[in-house]
Amino acid sequence: MATSRFLAVSELGELVEGYEPGVTAEEQDAFRRMFERDKAYLREIGIPLETGRGSVFSDEVGYRIHRGDYALPDLALAPDEAAALALAGSLWSVAALAGPAASALRKLAASGVSVPAGGEGGGTATVGETRPDADAGGAAAVGLGMLDGFEPRVDAAEPAFEACLAAVQTGRVIRFPYRKVGDAEVVERHVEPWGVLSWRGRWYLVGHDLHRGAERVFRLSRVAGAVRLVGPAGAVVVPADVDLSAMVSAQAPAERVRTATLAVRQGTCHALRRGAQAVSTGCIPPARPRPVFPADMDLLERTFTDTERFARWIVGSGPDVLVLDPPELRTAVIDRLRAAAGPAAEGEGR
């Protein structure tokens, strides 16, 4: 469709492979739906589609794409620039961001940057290799081979990540249930989100807490339920002088190492057992209550720092793990199991 004249739909059906209009009314209707879908997709990705008369002898609407309206000039990337872009494209492990990262890597490859097939969608992207037949200052000179085997990752597995990031991007207020460290109780938060960032391997939401009337930092792994977007887009204005990194480093609490007491079914949960210590009931001091658990389970203790993240891991083991202590971890696991069970679990005791 990147032509100098407008092409009618019937002409496109003849020229484009796989675009045959068909013979029956049903086939022609399917062709028109496919054409309308493709038009919308082109406009969505930023390629303008012009309409006009197919010829002076016809009133039929025609279509064309003017290459100069969307084509970018040749990229000229220095080796360090190509390295940064390629590594950024390989960084994301979360599905919602892997697609855009893969698309960016494909565009790099189209401009002359060598991207291994495994690098798309969060795989390995290596940087720095210079081809002897290319100008060292241009994009064609920059291969991606120097750091072969180096695979950076950003783990954004927290369920709240995508909704919080969307709220920041659209400027919308959010509400979410939140559990502070060491608390079993979940409290509703009403926040104007300013940013989402990673600090020391953890993801944080920074914003203005409307209930408290103050700036606050929230660890995403402690969000204990769905994040709800409320109000119109563009309602949140981020202060010009806000330093998100400084807020996180100042407000994020230090990691507090705690010990969980777990009953684990014999012969299961080997990964959980590797970091745990077996406990004999005979060694429990008389002042402590004796834990009650099924006879086919072992009593283990394991340290942890993040309640919600540890609870998410435990829930993956299903009925093979029972949390005996601490109460906030047990509550977090029960809440997740109830959410997975749906309405059938409502009203059941803990």
Q: What is the pLDDT of residues 190-245, one digit of tens each?
A: 999 999 988 877 889 999 999 999 999 999 988 988 999 998 999 999 998 889 98
Residue 325 — very low, low, confident or very high, per pLDDT cuts 50/70/90? confident
Q: Give yes or no for residue 164 having a pLDDT over 90.
A: yes
User: Regarding the domain delimited by 161-251, which CATH topology (the fold level of the hierarchy) does it fall under?
Assistant: SH3 type barrels. (2.30.30)
Residue ranges per domain, the chain? 7-69, 79-141, 161-251, 258-340
CA distance 157 to 73: 37
Considering the entire predicted model, what is its pTM?
A: 0.46
Name the residue with higher pLDDT: 211 or 154: 211
Contacts 24+ apart (CB under 8 A), 150-153: 150/124, 150/126, 151/90, 151/123, 151/124, 152/87, 152/90, 152/91, 153/91, 153/92, 153/93, 153/122
Q: Any idea how long the chain is? A: 350
- Between 101-105, 157-161, 174-178, the lowest mean confidence (pLDDT) is in 101-105
Q: Can you give the pLDDT at residue 229?
A: 94
Residue 86 — very low, low, confident or very high, per pLDDT cuts 50/70/90? low
Q: Can you give the pLDDT at residue 143?
A: 42
Mean pLDDT, rounded, for 12-21: 72
Residue 157: both structure tokens together: 């597995």
Percent residues over pLDDT 70 in the chain: 66
Q: Can you give the pLDDT at residue 72?
A: 63
Mean pLDDT, rounded, for 296-303: 91
Name the residue with higher pLDDT: 147 or 317: 317
Q: Can you give the pLDDT at residue 307?
A: 82
pLDDT, tens digit (0-9, with 9 covering 90-100), for 241-295? 889 989 988 887 666 788 999 999 999 988 888 888 888 766 665 556 667 788 8
Name the residue with higher pLDDT: 136 or 341: 341
Q: Can you give the pLDDT at residue 109?
A: 64
Q: Give yes or no for residue 55 having a pLDDT over 90.
A: no
Q: Give yes or no for residue 62 having a pLDDT over 50.
A: yes
Mean pLDDT, rounded, for 175-202: 86
Q: Give yes or no for residue 93 having a pLDDT over 60.
A: no
With vertex at residue 314, the alpha carbon angle to CA 97 and CA 157, rounded to the nearest 5 degrees, is 10
Mean pLDDT, rounded, for 44-50: 76
Q: Can you give the pLDDT at residue 289?
A: 66
Name the residue with higher pLDDT: 277 or 46: 277
> Among 182, 122, 190, 192, which Cα is nearest to 157's?
122
Name the residue with higher pLDDT: 242 or 92: 242
Across the chain, what does the average pLDDT equal? 75
Q: 313, 329 in Cβ contact below 8 A?
A: no
Q: Can you give the pLDDT at residue 51?
A: 80
Q: Which amino acid is at 338?
A: R
Mean pLDDT, rounded, for 326-349: 75
Q: Can you give the pLDDT at residue 257?
A: 83
Q: Give yes or no for residue 20 having a pLDDT over 50.
A: yes
Q: Can you give the pLDDT at residue 32?
A: 83
Alpha helices in the chain (DSSP H): 9-15, 25-44, 79-89, 95-110, 161-170, 244-251, 270-274, 307-315, 327-341
pLDDT, tens digit (0-9, with 9 covering 90-100), for 94-152? 555 556 666 666 666 655 655 444 443 333 333 333 333 333 333 333 344 444 444 45
Q: Give yes or no for residue 90 having a pLDDT over 70.
A: no
